[in-house]
Amino acid sequence: MDKGWGLALDSDRKIDFFPKKLSAGYREIMFQGIEFPVNLNRREEPAAATPPAGENRMVVGEVDFFSDHKSKLQPDFSINSNIKKENSNSAEVVRRTDLHVNTGLHLTTNAGSNQRSLVESDTEDKRSRKELADLQARLERMNAENQMLTTMLSQVSSNYSALQMQLMALMQQQQSLKAKTSQGHETAEGLRSEDKKREAEGPVVPRRFIDLGPSSATETNEPSQSNSSEERTQSAGSPLNNKNELISLDHDQENGKKIRREESPESDGWVSSKAPKLNAPKSVDQPPEATMRKARVSVRARSEAPMITDGCQWRKYGQKMAKGNPCPRAYYRCTMAVGCPVRKQVQRCAEDRTILITTYEGTHNHPLPPAAMAMASTTSAAANMLLSGSMSSGDGLMNPNFLARTMLPCSSSIATISASAPFPTVTLDLTHSANPLQFQRPTQIQNFVAPFGQMQYNQSRFSGLQVSQEMEPPQTARQAAAAQFQLSQNPSFADSLSAATAAITADPNFTAALAAAITSIMGGSQPNSTSANSTTSAAATNTTISNGDKIASTFLGN
What residues make contact with Zn ion under the rule CB under 5 A?
334, 336, 340, 342, 364
Judged by CB, which is closer to Zn ion: 334, or 430? 334
Does 244 contact DNA by CB under 7 A?
Answer: no
Return the range that interacts with DNA (CB under 7 A); candidates 36-44, 105-113, 319-327, 445-453.
319-327
Closest to DNA by CB, 2 vs 219, is 2
Interaction of residue 420 with DNA, rule CB under 7 A: no
* Beta carbons within 8 Å of 228's beta carbon, 6+ residues apart: 204, 205, 206, 473
Which of 81, 82, 114, 193 lies at the binding interface for DNA (CB under 7 A)? 193
Residue 287 interacting with DNA (CB under 7 A)? no
Contact with DNA (CB under 7 A) among 314, 402, 439, 485: 314
Residue 281 touching DNA (CB under 7 A): no
| Per-residue mark of binding to DNA, 141-180 (x: CB under 7 A) | ----------------------------------------
Q: Is 282 in the site for DNA (CB under 7 A)?
A: no
| Cα angle, residue 403 at apex, residues 401 and 405 outer, rounded to 5° | 65
Dihedral, CA atoms, 230, 234, 237, 242, nearest 10 degrees? Answer: 110
Residue 193's binding partner among Zn ion, DNA, none (Cβ under 5 to 8 angstroms by kind) is DNA
Half-sphere exposure of 169 (CA within 13 A, CB side): 13
DSSP string, 172-203: HHHHHHHHH-------GGG-SHHHHHHHHHST
Pairing, β 343-348 against β 328-334: antiparallel
Q: Backbone phi, then psi, for 147, in 5-degree steps?
A: -60, -45
Q: What are phi and psi of 240, to 5 degrees?
A: -35, -40
Confirm or reject binding of residue 345 to DNA (CB under 7 A): yes
Q: Is residue 422 at the binding interface for DNA, with CB under 7 A as the rule?
A: yes
Query: Quick check: 126 binds DNA (CB under 7 A)?
Result: no
Q: Which amino acid is at 421?
A: A
**Which region holds residue 184: left if phi is over 0, alpha if psi is between -120 and 50, else beta?**
left
The listed partner (DNA, Zn ion, none) that binds 336, CB under 5 to 8 Å by sort, is: Zn ion
Which part of the chain contacts DNA (CB under 7 A), choosing from 129-137, 284-292, 321-329, 545-553?
A: 321-329
Residue closer to Zn ion, measured from CB, 342 or 398: 342
Residue from 84, 138, 329, 441 in contact with DNA (CB under 7 A): 329
Task: Choose among Zn ion, DNA, none what residue 282 binds, the Cβ cut-off being 5 to 8 Å by kind.
Answer: none
Q: CA nearest 511: which of 450, 417, 438?
A: 438
- Pick the closest to residue 60 from 97, 90, 108 (CA basis): 97
CA 258 – CA 279 distance, rounded (Å): 17
Instruction: Using CB under 7 A, list all residues that contact DNA.
Output: 192-193, 258, 260-261, 274, 276-277, 313-320, 322-324, 329-331, 335, 343, 345, 422
